[in-house]
Amino acid sequence: MSAVIKTLTPFIEQDILLEALNSLNVEYHVNNGLIITNRVDYQGHQQFQFTNGKYHLIHDSDEFGGRLSRNTLNNDYQPIKQFLSKLEGAYKSVYQKKMERIAETERIRMEEAKKKYVQATKEKAIAQAKTQGYSIKESEVNGKIKLVLTRMGH
Amino acid sequence: MAEEKVILLIDEDGTISAKTIGFKGETCFDALDELLGLQSLTSVKKTDEYLQRVDTKSSIKMTTKRN
């Protein structure tokens, strides 16, 4: 007997998958690229294997035939379909948070770059003004830098 | 000798607005070129003072945009 489970979201990134497993209180350890979970079925520990660019859950398909090992028949065990559905939701949530963190990091980087640019622009203008014989008064107006350059005409 | 004044406003994204006061003729452009370079100039607005006193003293407002 064989079974195919399809999830809507491919589990591509290990760190996101591990965090998603954490959020579902699934224990695991990583060994040679395999993420071996504490979920046990007839064939032993269920594990995620990275193939063709994403993680696949390797498990005993007989679960669907009702021939689970006695050890898995407890209240904590969720059937594969239910487990993957919850994992998918958790993965999406972690992924979204990661994207937000990246966006925030990028926003901060761009803000810093902008500040540096403004500072450099100001310093360049002041340096040029000095060489042109201007006296300089600096102030801030509505968040803008105001430079008043004054000299006597030639 | 008349006083020449340049007022620069640098906004949060590095765009510069400049206003010149008291320059003779189009020397205000030269002054701004020396200070800022005019390659990144995006707009120039000649003020009333420039239009009225172009032969003697001039005044313009200009804006540069961050590259």
Phi, psi of A25, deg, nearest 5? 60, 35
Residues 21-50 in B contacting A (C-alpha not used; CB under 8 Å): 22-24, 31, 34-36
Q: ipTM, 2 decimals?
A: 0.76
Contacts of A153 in chain B (CB under 8 A): 1-4, 22-24
At residue B50 the predicted structure's pLDDT band, cuts being 50, 70 and 90, is: low
CA distance B18 to chain A (A): 9
Q: Does this model's pTM top 0.80?
A: no
Chain segment A69-117, per-residue pLDDT in tens: 445 555 567 888 889 889 999 999 999 999 999 999 999 999 999 899 8
Closest to A41 (Cα-Cα) out of A22, A20, A67, A23 = A67
Q: Which of A111, A135, A147 to mutate to test the interface with B (most CBs of B within 10 A)?
A: A147
At residue A23 the predicted structure's pLDDT band, cuts being 50, 70 and 90, is: very high
* Half-sphere exposure of residue A83: CA atoms within 13 angstroms, side-chain side: 19
Question: Would you list the domain boundaries of chain B?
Answer: 5-64
Tell me the residue type at A58.
I
